[in-house]
């Protein structure tokens, strides 16, 4: 599985858009990019997954360029409750039954 690199931490203010970029230079053809969110004292929670171009759901958007060597998670108008660790992962296609390899994640701190 391709290794991912993302910033250790980011700061933001309420109402701002936050973009967290992840690099995955060794991504393979059949790899997907997945993002999870973890609040303190809770297990990680799936946010979004994509293969190429742009994916959007009710929580976030995921932008993946054509070479797929990086991806950007975009959180629109963050609030204090978005303070969490965000993990970028590369995984094989095949449902939710393949193992996840977590990196260090990005600690997003949202301030008033």
Q: How big is the site for other proteins, counted in residues (CB under 8 A)?
A: 24
Work out whether 29 is an interface residue with other proteins (CB under 8 A): no
Q: Which secondary structure element, helix H or strand E, spans residue 90, and what is its range?
A: strand 84-92
Work out whether 8 is an interface residue with other proteins (CB under 8 A): no
87-103: string of b/e by CB count within 10 Å (b at 16+)?
bbbbbeeeeeeeeeeee
Q: What distance in Å separates the CA atoms of residue 13 and residue 96, rounded to the nearest whole number? A: 33
Interface pick for other proteins out of 84, 87, 106, 108 (rule CB under 8 A): 87
For the chain, what's the residue count?
112
Contact region for other proteins (CB under 8 A) — 5-13, 20-28, 66-74, 95-103?
Answer: 95-103
Work out whether 40 is an interface residue with other proteins (CB under 8 A): no
C-alpha distances in Å from residue 48, one per residue of 13, 111, 112: 22, 24, 26
- Least distance from other proteins to the Cβ atom of residue 95, Å: 4
Question: Interface residues with other proteins (CB under 8 A)?
Answer: 32, 34, 41-46, 49, 55, 87, 91, 93-97, 99-105
């Amino acid at each position: 599985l391709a290794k991912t690199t993302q910033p250790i931490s980011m700061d933001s203010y309420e109402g701002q858009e936050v973009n967290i970029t992840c690099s995955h230079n060794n991504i393979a053809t059949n790899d997907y990019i997945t993002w999870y969110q973890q609040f303190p004292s809770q297990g990680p929670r799936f946010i979004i997954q994509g293969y190429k171009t742009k994916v959007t759901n009710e929580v976030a958007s995921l932008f993946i360029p054509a070479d797929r060597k990086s991806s950007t998670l975009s959180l629109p108008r963050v609030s204090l409750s978005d303070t969490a660790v965000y993990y970028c992962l590369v995984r094989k296609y095949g449902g939710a039954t393949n193992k996840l390899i977590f990196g260090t994640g990005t600690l997003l701190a949202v301030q008033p």
